[in-house]
Chains A and B, each alone.
Chain A
């Protein structure tokens, strides 16, 4: 069955620390992968996406992610976090012509000033 899982449920960092949030997927065939961010009290916004080409994708606000097919992973990274990055982060996957979009459980990031 198709699935997306996020290992870290709650991460606490100090400002300027580096961030890596894990995401693993289970899909047969071509997969499109996304990272969304949800700031407190707001709706989800797209951070970045991968669907083909360069496996290292860059998104907004200095975030990047690397698609590693051999590891079924799409981890999110940021070299230096800011207090304003405090939010919930969701990895999601979709495949082919189906309308299904599967989300991971989410990771709550708390950045201490």
Chain B
């Protein structure tokens, strides 16, 4: 089954404790992206990756890191989490970026992070 898998689904942690949210897709997609969803703000793009070893900042990259060492994986790293990073996070992938011929994004089920 074609899917985007995120782990963990839920996490409560404390300020400053490094954490990683994993994202994996099994569709051989080139493009992957991370978003955070906050009430009233919709989804905001954190980072995206056009292909292996190619990553770039979205609109809200501060406090986050990513890497793309393999095509299927795109982990999101919070080196020193802070309470303002409490949010619902979604990973997504597509064959090509959405700006090329209207490629739709395939979304994971989301990760709810609470940082105390």
A residues neighboring B (CB under 8 Å): 6, 9, 32, 34, 36, 42-46, 49-52, 90, 92, 94-106
Other-chain residue from A6, A32, A100, A105 in contact with B102 (beta carbon distance below 8 A):
A32
A-B contact pairs, 10 of them (CB 8 A): A32-B100, A34-B102, A43-B110, A45-B107, A90-B42, A99-B56, A101-B97, A103-B43, A105-B41, A106-B40
- Given A90-B42, A101-B45, A102-B45, A32-B98 contact (CB < 8 Å): yes
Which residues in A have their C-beta under 8 angstroms from that of B109?
42-43
Q: Nearest chain-A residue to B54 (Cβ)?
A: A99
Give the docked Cα–Cα distance between A98 and B56 (Å).
10
- The 7 A-B residue pairs whose C-beta atoms are closest, nearest first, are A51-B102, A94-B98, A94-B99, A99-B48, A43-B107, A103-B43, A46-B104
Q: Please state if A44 and B98 are interface contacts (CB–CB under 8 Å).
A: no
Which residues in A have their C-beta under 8 angstroms from that of B33?
99, 101
- Given A94-B98, A101-B33, A49-B104 contact (CB < 8 Å): yes
Which residues of B97-116 have CB atoms within 8 Å of chain A's CB atoms? 97-105, 107-110
A100 to chain B, nearest CB (A): 6
B65 touches A (CB below 8 Å): no
Q: Please state if A50 and B102 are interface contacts (CB–CB under 8 Å).
A: yes
- Given A43-B90, A101-B98, A9-B40 contact (CB < 8 Å): yes
What 12 new A-B contacts, CB under 8 Å, besides A34-B104, A97-B99, A99-B33?
A: A6-B42, A32-B101, A94-B98, A99-B49, A99-B56, A100-B58, A101-B45, A101-B97, A102-B59, A103-B35, A103-B45, A106-B43
B25 to chain A, nearest CB (A): 13
A87 to chain B, nearest CB (A): 14
Give the docked Cα–Cα distance between A104 and B97 (Å).
18
Which residues of B17-62 have CB atoms within 8 Å of chain A's CB atoms? 31, 33, 35, 40-45, 48-50, 56, 58-59
Q: Please state if A99 and B31 are interface contacts (CB–CB under 8 Å).
A: yes
